[in-house]
Amino acid sequence: MSRARIIRIATRSSPMALAQAEQVAALLGELGVDSELVKVTTAGDRWMGDLSKLGGKGAFVKEIDHALLVDDADLAVHCLKDIPGDIPVPEGLKFAGYLPRDDVHDAVITADGAPLAEQPAGTVVGTSSVRRRAQLLLHYPHLTVKPLRGNVNTRLARLEEGHIDVLIAAVSGLHRVDQAHRITETLDLDTMCPPIGAGIITLECRADDAELLELGARLDHSETHRQADAERAMLHALQGHCNSPIAGYASTEATGRLTLHGKVFNEDGTQWLDSHQWGVPEDPQALGFFVGADLLRQGARAIIDAIPH
């Protein structure tokens, strides 16, 4: 790496995204590499309506990818869960590495401090995640789920202002913005299966940038990389859209064997499919495609296609 080169890190401008980018900047600093942040406000940040009107989760990454492609930035820092799995990474770009995975659980924050099971009928839970909505309606049908967009700080403010009674947020995200002390309870993975790529920060750069690909490889966490490959292969096999309640997570057993648990829900959680399989760590994508194929065999295509998008 040229000592004269300052790596321009493209990031969303939300508090959580900036915390993630600063984490990457600190890691680069430990390798003796200087960097600066390039703040990008994406369409997903500007739009407070239904994400499907903007083409789904890709609304959070398109402008950042464009900054790389036109050489306004050198390195992008993404939450892997925000990167669509049904379309490839734009031509000319490449994932450079994955940081060690954070907690994949979802947390509950309630206004009254009581857990979800003790909330009275009609309690309003704020979330715009179709994945969370389906699982909330499945396990807590007495609750009322209403759309709530915005970054985690904005959503916490809506809870404090009394617009909602309960907020669901990622444990890892709450830690990144120093709000973990607000957690009322942490949901187990059977109750709230996480999104594909939960807790994973990925680095992306131009495919011809050999220096950054080498740096990314030095920062890459091999276990997380394998889990990401398995999960995204499953997501690609399912070819879901932004309104598809698809969930799943890979993990590594003590023996080194890779396991992948995938789920597909309909909108209100009254129908759901489940697949849990194991594979060798040397071929995580094969495991992902196998789980995706198993869910399709069970009828996932009909459930996914029945949801408007």
CB 174 within 8 A of CB 180: yes
Here the tokens at position 147 are 């759309």
Q: In what order do the strands lie in the sheet with 124-126?
A: 144-146, 124-126, 166-170, 106-110, 185-186
**DSSP-based three-state secondary structure for 268:** coil
Q: What is the largest CA-CA distance in the chain?
A: 61
- Going by C-alpha positions, the residue among 174, 1, 27 that lies closest to residue 9 is 27
Non-local CB neighbours of 79 within 8 Å, separated by 6+ positions: 17, 20, 197, 200, 201, 202
- For residue 188, give Cα distances in angstroms to 152, 200, 272: 20, 18, 17
H helices of the chain, in order, are: 15-30, 43-46, 62-69, 130-139, 152-160, 171-176, 210-219, 222-238, 284-298, 300-305
The CA R_g of the chain, rounded to the nearest whole Å, is 19
CA distance 200 to 181: 21
86 has catalytic annotation: no
Contacts of 25 (CB under 8 A, 6+ apart): 9, 35, 37
Residue in 65, 82, 102, 209 annotated catalytic? 82
Q: Distance between CA 76 and CA 83 in Å, rounded? A: 12
Determine the Cα–Cα distance for residues 97 and 225; give it in Å rounded to an integer.
7
Q: What interhelical angle do 15-30 and 210-219 show, nearest 10?
A: 100
Can you read off the two tokens belonging to residue 132? 């969370």
Q: Which residues are catalytic?
A: 82
